[in-house]
Structure 1
């Protein structure tokens, strides 16, 4: 078993420190608390079995649907046109 700090674990798996802390609080990652100079330092215990489970739960960027700014821009332009039409219709009512 290897001991790694929260920051090092986050860097190794390309996660935010906040997400690693959440994983430790929820019990997904085994931890060990050590007192150094009066401060509690949390170390994550790395084991192959635990690492395999964590790797399965992490959603990577390549698994996500590609995002197209052009398509999103077109969709927003259509929505703006609909809103302009609604504004004109409401002005004609009043």
Structure 2
């Protein structure tokens, strides 16, 4: 059994701290509260079996298509060029 902080657990499993706290409140994770330097610290107690169950429940975000991202960037850069040209034309018309 290992003990780790909420933040360390969130980083390890690529979750937000909010989701980890939500899992603690729902009883999905075991926790232990210890007083250190006058502060109450909450540690998550992990088991190997429990870790496997939780990692299966976590939904991974799909990887984005790199080609689609490059197309979007090129389209947006063309739009920026057009807007800059329009801005220059408007500046000239005001002078």
Task: State the Cα distance separating 1:8 from its structure 2 match.
Answer: 0.3
Give the superposition deviation at 1:47. 0.6
Summarize deviations over 1:4-39 as a string: whole Å, max 9, x none.
000000000000000000001111010000011222
1:28-58 C-alpha deviation (Å, 9 max, x unpaired): 0100000112221100011101101101110
**Is the aligned partner of 1:56 residue 2:56?**
yes
2:17 maps to what in 1? 17
Distance (whole Å) between structure 1 residues aligned to residue 13 and residue 56 of structure 2: 12
Instruction: Name the counterpart of 1:29.
Output: 29
Structure-1-length-normalised TM-score: 0.64
Structure 1 residue runs without a partner (length 5+): 71-94
Look up the match of 1:43. Answer: 43
Structure 2 SS opposite 1:33: strand
Q: Secondary structure at the match of 1:49?
A: helix
Structure 2 stretches lacking a partner, 5+ long: 72-95
| Counterpart Cα distance in 1 of 2:3 and 2:14 | 18
Spell out structure 1 runs of 4+ moving beyond 6 A: none
- Cα RMSD after superposing both structures: 1.8
- How many residues end up aligned between the 2 structures? 67
